[in-house]
Structure 1
Amino acid sequence: MSVKKILLLVGDFVEDYEAMVPFQMLLMAGHEVHSVCPGKKAGETVATAVHDFEGHQTYSEKPGHNFMITTTFDDIKAADYDALVIPGGRAPEYLRLDPAVIACVRHFADADKPIAAICHGPQLLTAADVVKGKSCSAYPAVRPDIEGSGGTWCEPNETFSSACVDGKLVTAPAWPAHPEWMRKFLEVLGTTIEP
């Protein structure tokens, strides 16, 4: 297996599971993963939020953990990375206002590098104008963004455990999709895990 260098883009109130679980899974698979947040340096943390599905009209939100930033955003060069992971939560909503974040996301799309985005993460893809002509899943509230940006909505299954692959773009609706989302992302990365 060839080790990939993967960038995980987070911000305050990123969804807890959607940051921590992929970070750990990709490390477990043998990849090098750098977590970054605009305006924060290596060693600092972001606050996370836990989103749950408890029968309300939308998800509930509770305080999560502090998630460690391993690399200073201002020091990275997107060209040095093989792939990008964009967790959901509330972070993508405000990160999409940062021109440096948008330029970073565009680099991965323009270079046809693997991108994994989940839940509200595709808000960064739509803001970077990289979903046109692509099939994309996300939390259902992001569907208008995807379709308004020229993407095709990939309907999640009823348990939100499905993932959608279009070329090197792997998207999913929420953290219940982690097994399928990460399995498909590892396939796109060319990673094989022997039983």
Structure 2
Amino acid sequence: MGSLTKKSVLVLCGDYMEDYDVVVPFFTLRAFGVRVDCVSGGKLPGHRCFTAVHDFMGFEADSYDCLLIPGGGLIELLSADDKTVGLVRKFEAGKPVVTSYHSQI
């Protein structure tokens, strides 16, 4: 009888890779018991890769009932982007905008 070996997949990653193209296969393969290792040139173990969602179809303001903006350094980046500020203004015109913020005491 042949031995059962666990399958493995190596994923080449990098900043601003398409989010769905890495996240969906990663979790699907893991759900089937496949070992998934992600590597990225120039990054050390434990470093993160930033992802991007390039398909904005369906993400228009009128498609949603509320906008959630997480706190942290992201706020500064978002406030410098005219498209993002315009999106927030569309929500503020009649839909709830929820923000979170925490500080260390």
After TM superposition, the score normalised by the length of structure 1 is 0.26
Q: Which structure's CA Rg is the greater one? A: 2
> Normalized per residue, which structure has more strand?
1
Give the structure, 1 or 2, with the largest relative contact order (CA under 8 Å, sep 6 or more): 2
After TM superposition, the score normalised by the length of structure 2 is 0.48
